[in-house]
Amino acid sequence: MNEKSIEASLKRMIAPAPDPEARLRAKRAALEEFARVHAANQDAAQENEKTSEAPAKGLWSALRLFRDDSSHGSTSMAWFVRRNLFAGVAGVCVVGLGIAMVWPMLSNYGDSSLLGDPQPPMTAGLEPAAGDNPPVRAFSNTAGPTPPQPALPEPQQELPVASAAKPAPAASPAQEEDKQLNEMVVQGYRQRLEASIQAKREAGVVDSINAEDVAQFPEQNIAESLQRVPAVEISRTVQSTTPADASGDVSEVIVTGSRISRAAMQAPHKGVAAPNPRSAGRVAANVYTPPAPPPTATRELYQRAAIPELSVGVPDEGRDKFQQFDVNPVRQVADEPVSTFSADVDTASYSFVRRQLNVGRLPQKDSVRVEEMINYFDYAWPAANSAKTPFKPTVVVSESPWGKGRKLVHIGIRGYEIPRDDAPGANLVLLLDVSGSMDSPDKLPLAVQSMELLLSSLKPTDTVGIVVYAGAAGTVLEPTPVKDKQKIIAALRELRPGGSTAGAQGIERAYQLAESHFRKGGVNRILLATDGDFNVGIAGTNELKGFVERKREKGIFLSVLGFGQGNYRDELAQALAQNGNGVAAYIDTLGEAQKVLVQEAGASLFTIAKDVKLQVEFNPATVAEYRLVGYETRALKREDFNNDAVDAGDVGSGHTVTAIYEITPVGSATRMVDKSRYAKEPQPPAGTGTASEYGFLKIRYKLPDSDTSQLIEQPIVIAPRDVPQNVQRDVQFSTAVAGFGQLLRGGTFTGPLSYEDIIKQAQTAKGDDPFGYRTEFVQLVRKAKVAREM
Amino acid sequence: MDEALIRRAQGGDAASFAELLDLHYDTIYRFAWKWCGHAANAEDIAQQACMKLATSLSQYRFQAAFTSWLYRLVISCAQDWQRSQQRHDHDELPDEEAMTEFPRHEDGIYLAQVLATLAKLGEGMKETALLVHAEGMSHAEAGAVLGVSESTISWRVHTIRKHMGRPEARASLAYE
């Protein structure tokens, strides 16, 4: 390729013909603008008169009345005409003086400020007086749909002046006001249009409805029109029988959570405040496919809404939302000997990364959470024996493959695995997003299949209820025992994406359902399946989190299953699952559903320990620096460790949690941070026998039905004895995964580590790999190697 | 050109202004499209440009050709538009979605990359390339539009040529 081909391709670039509707819209908007500009110029002219030319004005208005009235020729007007003649005569006297005083000022003003306006200020003042159409009216004939007219009937316009047929100066303020009123109507309309355009630009919102649109809709009132905007629903107090009644019954408008109170709705026909586009924002974006062919007037709205759906060529992962975070830095043991974090058993990040790599692109950096990638795999850490002490930690020290002279400390925990027969009964409520955006093979259909898989891992006495949102409102299936599997499957298969805009208070209803069938001592859990549109009837993120948290205290937990991509809101999914004592998993394939909901069903459903926190205190005598790999979003404060009120991650039955520290032992030549020249290195505490320890590990957890935490402690010894073969192998594999995750995040600390090294390392540590996950990992690393960032 | 029409529109005659819009909307839209490569975004930019035309038509003093003046207006609208996009969508890759609607897909990706690369070259580069190569303007005309001298345009065209011929630039354009 050379510059020739660039020129050629630029030349070849043929713009498509503009869309006639867009053209019309642009033209209309421009003409409005045009009218506004010229109206504004007139305003300026009037302003000018008002401040500097009041007496003179009396003359003009009087003259004007005279002319107008004579053309009407009505007898009742004749009297006014005569009176005005007198007024005119009186005015002339005053005006003679006025003009003499004001004329020089006026001509200056005209030169300086109204250059752009071809009408000199005097004519601007005169124009309405001459009885011509004001400019506002002149253009409306050409501008397509008529904007609301100022349209005061002519005689009315005369009235204030007529009644004020006293001395001319007194008449002028009245007429001034009259004119101002006209202008206000025009401006209000303009401003709404502008606000609407602004709303679309500012918020990235896809739709907005303005007064002009409303006039073209067939609805009874504005509330109903608003309902056309995705993510807006209205609720009625009484179900009305006739459509005409319906208008009065709107009790509130719910806008993606934020509510416009009834007060604002009192007089729906006077115009409702537009939905706050900021709160509608992302949530409303690209989620909606219209249920029925909309009338022409609204088609453009829907077309805008549909654009993201149409441009499927390149999946647009830029819209998926992830929490931004910085990689954990290297810390000095001397400064900060204690590291505290919360357990994390989520695996969503790995699935998301896999999905991106499978389409040949590197994932967004913030979507890579190294600890979630590590914890995606099941490791051979020894299991605890009883539910009472539900886990025992495994600590292994190995050489760091990417930092010479540094070491890796693996901390592995395997949760106690509840035998299937002892598993508590489950009361599950599936909360499914069936909005239009779920209409994609990897969304609702996959979610339905996943749920069917889930049924196979439940006991016959467990119950399953189904609630949907953003669609055919509410409960689809009352909690039904799993032994009636056919009934549940039939209900699931009935679900169709799309449906009407009238959504449900999805999440609240799901909790109500779970509460009504609450199982004491059992598992009460809501599984939320969504593609990221959390338009579930409760406002903002924080309110939602608080709601989930309160319900958690009542014993109802929440897990989030993410589907699809495009507007996936990972951050929120994570936060909700964390607040709901559940896992956030991202399901990109049926295989992943199999893993999460069948093989690891126990782990996903049955919590064996709540609020699991880990704290490591490093020994300054043996360790100079340390760095926690991953867990950036799970960091806790040192004092949070012993505070039972601080929420942390939960571990399910049979879950493994793995954390890796990279440490630089004292005396290593490869310290990242140089020794301080002035501060003294801490002296190792003498003769306490701790010289054989790198540090001390503490784990706090709560049993599922307890509110007080328990403590597990274990020293991290420099040379652990008898590490079994399979544990060593899994240490190597998890190291490979950790290396991969760090490389995807930019590889700040991984030195010369390459994808090749990771492949080699992972290959030799694959082990049995009964489900093929580790083989898949090796494939992923290969894909990352060839993936080029677009 | 139709100077009389413009003067009437400047004088506040809405019918003339409407006629003017009819005459030039296609030019505005097509150039906006080339600038951003995306129909809906081009519509937005075009609409902005039309509105801006309404407010600033009075500033047109018949010194340059009306189309040159118009191009400058569209460019400034497009730049405003992009800034506002970046403000809302500060994640990253603001352009990516905008680049997916070319008639032929491979062409689309390729052109998207060309546009993106041009934009990275520096201020005014993309505009220069579009005016000179896509619109077929002379360097003098393009200079008039962008408000720089003819020699600046020549220099820019030369820089673009030089840069696009370089191996790194070729490598950065994955389509080959």
Give the span between the Cα atoms of A545 and A542, in whole angstroms. 5
Kindly provide the b/e burial profile for residues A166-205, where b requires at least 16 CB atoms within 10 angstroms of the residue's own CB: eebbebbeebbebbeebbebbeebbebbbebbebbbebbb
Q: How far is A745 from chain B (nearest CA, A)?
A: 15
Report the pLDDT value the prediction gives residue A178, as an integer from 0 to 100.
47
Q: What pLDDT digit, counting tens, does each position of A224-256 carry?
A: 666 666 556 655 544 444 444 444 455 556 554
Mean pLDDT of A444-471: 83
Q: How far is B59 from chain A (nearest CA, A)?
A: 7
Maximum mean pLDDT: which of A42-46, A254-258, A341-345, A367-371: A367-371
* Secondary structure of chain B in HEC code, one letter for each residue: CCHHHHHHHHCCCHHHHHHHHHHHHHHHHHHHHHHHCCHHHHHHHHHHHHHHHHHHHHHCCCCCCHHHHHHHHHHHHHHHHHHHHHHHCCCCCCCCHHHCCCCCHHHHHHHHHHHHHHHHHCCCHHHHHHHHHHCCCCHHHHHHHHCCCHHHHHHHHHHHHHHHHCHHHHHHCCCC
Give the span between the Cα atoms of A34 and A284, in whole angstroms. 32
Give the containing element (helix H, strand E) for A47: helix A20-52
Containing domain of residue A278, as a range?
A: 215-311
Give the span between the Cα atoms of A614 and A339, in whole angstroms. 8
Chain B residues within an 8 Å CB radius of A204: 88-89
Q: Determine how β-strand A623-629 pairs with β-strand A656-665.
A: antiparallel
Give the span between the Cα atoms of A118 and A438, in whole angstroms. 57
Give the containing element (helix H, strand E) for A491: helix A485-494
Q: Which of A235, A288, A296 is nearest to A261 (CA)?
A: A235
Give the span between the Cα atoms of A407 and A404, in whole angstroms. 8
The answer to whether A430 and A467 are in contact (CB under 8 A) is: yes
Residues 6+ apart with CB under 8 A from B59: A116
Torsion of Cα atoms, A667 then A669 then A675 then A681, to 10°: 0
Q: Which of A506, A527, A525, A505 is nearest to A515 (CA)?
A: A525
Q: Does B14 touch chain A (CB under 8 A)?
A: yes
Compute the radius of gyration of chain B from its Cα atoms: 17
A293 shares its domain with A226: yes
A69 shares its domain with A172: yes
Chain B residues within an 8 Å CB radius of A138: 13-15
A626 shares its domain with A599: no
Residue A353 in any domain: the answer is yes
Residue A684 in any domain: the answer is no
Q: Does B23 touch chain A (CB under 8 A)?
A: no
The A residues from 200 to 219 touching B (CB cutoff 8 Å) are 201-204
The one-character DSSP state at A241 is S
Residue whose structure tokens are 């030319």: A53
Residue A686 in any domain: the answer is no
A565 shares its domain with A469: yes
Task: Say how many C-beta atoms besides its own lie within 10 A of residue A33's C-beta.
Answer: 21
Chain A residues within an 8 Å CB radius of B80: none
Q: Does B167 touch chain A (CB under 8 A)?
A: no
Tell me which of A2, A31, A32, A34 to substitute to probe the interface with B (most B C-beta atoms closer than 10 Å).
A34
Residue A383 in any domain: the answer is yes
* pLDDT > 70? residue A193: no
Per-residue pLDDT of chain B (176 residues; tens, 9 = 90+): 578 888 888 888 888 888 888 888 888 888 888 888 777 888 888 888 888 888 888 888 888 788 888 888 888 888 888 877 765 544 444 444 444 444 445 555 667 777 777 777 777 888 888 888 877 788 888 888 888 888 888 888 888 887 776 655 554 454 43
Give the span between the Cα atoms of A627 and A617, in whole angstroms. 12
Residue A204 in any domain: the answer is no
CB–CB contact A22 B91 (8 Å): no
Report the pLDDT value the prediction gives residue A75, as an integer from 0 to 100.
47
The answer to whether A15 and B34 are in contact (CB under 8 A) is: yes
Mean pLDDT of A744-753: 85
- Please identify, among A168, A196, A224, the residue that sits at the C-terminal boundary of a domain: A196
Q: Determine how β-strand A656-665 pairs with β-strand A693-702.
A: unpaired
A591 shares its domain with A452: yes
- Please identify, among A605, A640, A657, the residue that sits at the C-terminal boundary of a domain: A605
Angle at A744 between CA A743 and CA A749, to 5 degrees: 30
Residues 6+ apart with CB under 8 A from A649: A342, A343, A344, A345, A578, A611, A612, A634, A657
Task: Say how many C-beta atoms besides its own lie within 10 A of residue A5's C-beta.
Answer: 13
* pLDDT > 90? residue A614: yes
* ipTM > 0.85 (yes/no): no
CB–CB contact A31 B29 (8 Å): no
A455 shares its domain with A578: yes
Report the pLDDT value the prediction gives residue A732, as an integer from 0 to 100.
92
Domain count, chain A: 4
Instruction: Tell me the CATH number at A437.
Output: 3.40.50.410
Minimum Cα–Cα distance from A314: chain B residue: B100
Q: Which of A566, A616, A557, A581 is nearest to A435 (CA)?
A: A566
Report the pLDDT value the prediction gives residue A269, as an integer from 0 to 100.
37
Q: Which of B59, B71, B75, B65 is nearest to B10 (CA)?
A: B59
Q: Does B1 touch chain A (CB under 8 A)?
A: no
Average pLDDT score over chain A: 69
Torsion of Cα atoms, A625 then A630 then A631 then A632, to 10°: 80
Residue A13 in any domain: the answer is no
At A607, list the tokens: 């919590």
Give the span between the Cα atoms of A758 and A775, in whole angstroms. 13
Phi, psi of A285 (to 5 degrees): -65, 145
A26 shares its domain with A72: yes
- Please identify, among A136, A166, A196, the residue that sits at the C-terminal boundary of a domain: A196
Give the span between the Cα atoms of A727 and A379, in whole angstroms. 8
A120 shares its domain with A160: yes
A599 shares its domain with A611: no
The answer to whether A779 and A771 are in contact (CB under 8 A) is: no
A443 shares its domain with A553: yes
A543 shares its domain with A508: yes
Residue A35 confidence class, pLDDT cut points 50, 70, 90? confident
Mean pLDDT of A435-456: 81
* pLDDT > 70? residue A101: no
Domains of chain B: 1-96 (1.10.1740.10), 102-176 (1.10.10.10)
The answer to whether A447 and A469 are in contact (CB under 8 A) is: no
Instruction: Tell me the CATH number at A695.
Output: 2.60.40.1230
Tell me which of A7, A9, A13, A571 to substitute to probe the interface with B (most B C-beta atoms closer than 10 Å).
A13
CB–CB contact B100 A314 (8 Å): yes
Residue whose structure tokens are 């007024």: A87
* Secondary structure of B95-122 in HEC code, one letter for each residue: CCHHHCCCCCHHHHHHHHHHHHHHHHHC
Q: Does A10 touch chain B (CB under 8 A)?
A: yes
Give the span between the Cα atoms of A742 and A371, in whole angstroms. 10
Mean pLDDT of A612-635: 90
At A745, list the tokens: 């995040």
Percent of chain A with pLDDT strictly greater than 70: 58
Residue A673 in any domain: the answer is no
A525 shares its domain with A652: no
Residue A201 in any domain: the answer is no
CB–CB contact B12 A38 (8 Å): yes
